[in-house]
Structure 1
Amino acid sequence: MVQTPPQYLIQQDFEQLCLDHPDRMLERTAQGELVEVAPVGGEGSSQEADLIGDLIIWNRQTKLGKVFSSQGAFKLPFGSTRAADVAWVQLDRWEALTSEQRIGFPPICPDFVIELRSQSISHGVIKPQSLSELRTKMAEYLASGLRLGWLINPHDRQVEIYRAGQAVQVISMPTTLSGENVLPGFELRV
């Protein structure tokens, strides 16, 4: 019998739950609400891998930061623990963390994130991830210091661009996205 974890957890209990259940993808909102992330299907997983690959290629050339996959969560200053589909942290900010902080959930907000609205599989039903939940995550990133974020929504053929101190910009696909001054020279065709 699978034991259902509590719905609201303090950070310490959340970290212990993650250690006890390494096979589950869990996040924690700023209010302490536990969020279990459903696995995505093959198409979404392939798209996510392409996004990570493009960012890794750029980062290997520039050596400006560190790239992270959806398996790595960050303890955000706003109070949540979140994992983006793709995340990037500027190198000097990453190196300012202790080795212990780098091993656990790093207490830092990524400078850049990509959230891809994929088809998720939950209880045998395939459906697009909740747009409102993804927007909530993006708002938490912004409140925690995110400099640039892209919410790619293939389902509605749109990209939402999040920038610190600015209104969200919504553009139609296909388009080419610029890493602006956060990821200088990085461009992504979606």
Structure 2
Amino acid sequence: MPSLVTLDVHSVGLSDEQFHRLCQNNRDLRIELTAQGELIIMPPTGSKTGWRNAKIIHRLTAWAEQDRSGLTFDSSTGFTLPNGAKRSPDAAWIRRERWEALTEEEQEGFAPICPDFVLELRSPADKLSMVQDKMHEYMENGAQLGWLIDPKERRVYVYRPGQP
């Protein structure tokens, strides 16, 4: 299984428009940008991880549609966090009033918002420490709840603001 690639593009000065274009031109890859200016390029997930992601999104969406208090997003969605990072969690949920406070233009791009709930499903190629760091970043940027699911270890890590 191919692993991710990290490139330091801080000195190049990748604009929001250039980053968006890069993502649009490479839809088969998951691309994120850290707050430190590192471009993270991830290969498509394996079939089993994709199947697990689909089940998670289905269940989260079913709950959100019944509850009606927010909207769900899948792993193809990019968000611009308050620290400037551009991240794409495997699943996310945002309270409806927060989403509706964004302009149409903000909603169309990498919305400048940190989801209220984020979920990361660790794939075989993911280093646990990197995914844990990402979860802490979500909490530091406004997420209220995060789940990191590690199928290999059969473990779920739960994250809340202010907790180590």
Q: 1:160 aligns with which of 123, 135, 157?
A: 157
- Alpha-carbon RMSD across the aligned residues, in angstroms, is 1.8
Q: How far apart in 2 are the matches of 1:84 and 1:143? A: 15
Taking the TM superposition and a 5 Å limit, the aligned residue runs for 1:121-140 are: 128-140=125-137
Q: So what's the TM-score if we normalise by structure 1? A: 0.77
Q: Which moved more, 1:7-16 or 1:109-118?
A: 7-16
Q: Distance in 2 between matches of 1:78 and 1:91?
A: 22
Aligned mates of 2:136, 2:119 — CA distance in 1 = 13
In the TM superposition, what is the alpha-carbon distance from 1:63 to its structure 2 partner? 0.6
Gap runs ≥5 in structure 2: none
How far the C-alpha of 1:6 sits from its partner, in A, is 5.9
TM-score (norm 2): 0.88
**Residue 89, structure 1, aligned to residue 103, structure 2:** no
Which of 132, 142, 145 is residue 145 of structure 1 equivalent to?
A: 142
| Larger relative contact order (Cα-Cα within 8 Å, sequence gap ≥ 6) | 2
Structure-1 residue corresponding to 2:54 = 49
Q: Percent identity?
A: 44
Counterpart AA for 2:55: D
3-state SS, counterpart of residue 59 of structure 1: helix
Match of 2:9 in 1: 8
- Say if 1:151 and 1:159, in contact at 8 Å, map to a contact too: yes
Looking at structure 1, the residues matched to 25 and 91 of structure 2 have their Cα atoms a distance apart, in angstroms, of: 25
More helix by share: 2
Residue 20 of structure 1: how far off its partner (Å)? 3.8
Question: Match for 2:122: what amino acid?
Answer: R
Q: Which residue of 1 aligns with 2:76?
A: 71
Q: Residues 62-103 of structure 1: CA distance to partner in whole angstroms, max 9, x if unpaired?
A: 111110000001000022000000000000000000000000
